[in-house]
Amino acid sequence: MHETTIRVQYYETDRMGVVHHSNYIRYFEQARTEYIRELGIPYADIEAGGVLMPIIATECRYFTPAGYDEVLTVRTRISGAITARIRFEYEIYNAVGQQVCTGTTELAFIDALTRRPCRPPEAIRKLKDNS
């Protein structure tokens, strides 16, 4: 499990002063990017190796709102087998430990030239052992 801290920016909130629902997907992406970077596999390196990772599914369940300038903690982990797809699970908590939301993203591995599914890079296949 990996933890990323995010401070809510003003432009991420709606007229009611709470984080707009679409921004949680951005928080997931930021946390996922930091997670795999910390494991030594930056997205730029994956793409330089000829593999792209488009999101093919996402889900988010909301429990309590977050507001401007709040500090959120995003917990990220890999779930399931890593095949031509990889699935990440997320839990977001506010500073007092309330669960703000949970979610998932599923990404495919595709060849950058052919845009066809491909095997994940070796470094990615090893991630399950580290999560």
pLDDT of residue 125: 83
Residue 66 CA to residue 101 CA, distance in Å, equals 10
pLDDT of residue 31: 97
- Domains and their CATH numbers in the chain: 2-130 (3.10.129.10)
The closest alpha carbon to 120, from 85, 89, 87, 76, belongs to 85
pLDDT of residue 126: 79
Average pLDDT of the chain is 93
Burial 63-93 (b: 16+ CB within 10 A, else e): eebbeeebebbbbbebeeebeebbbbbbbbb
Q: What mean pLDDT comes out for the span 102-118?
A: 96
Q: What mean pLDDT comes out for the span 19-48?
A: 94
Burial 7-33 (b: 16+ CB within 10 A, else e): ebeeebbeeeebbeeebbbebbbebbe
Whether the pLDDT of residue 129 is over 60: the answer is no
Q: pTM for the complete prediction? A: 0.91
Q: Which of the four pLDDT bands, split at 50, 70 and 90, describes residue 127?
A: confident
Q: Which of the four pLDDT bands, split at 50, 70 and 90, describes residue 128?
A: low
Q: What mean pLDDT comes out for the span 18-26?
A: 95
pLDDT tens-digit readout, 55-92: 999 999 999 999 999 999 999 999 988 899 999 999 99
Residues assigned a catalytic role = 14
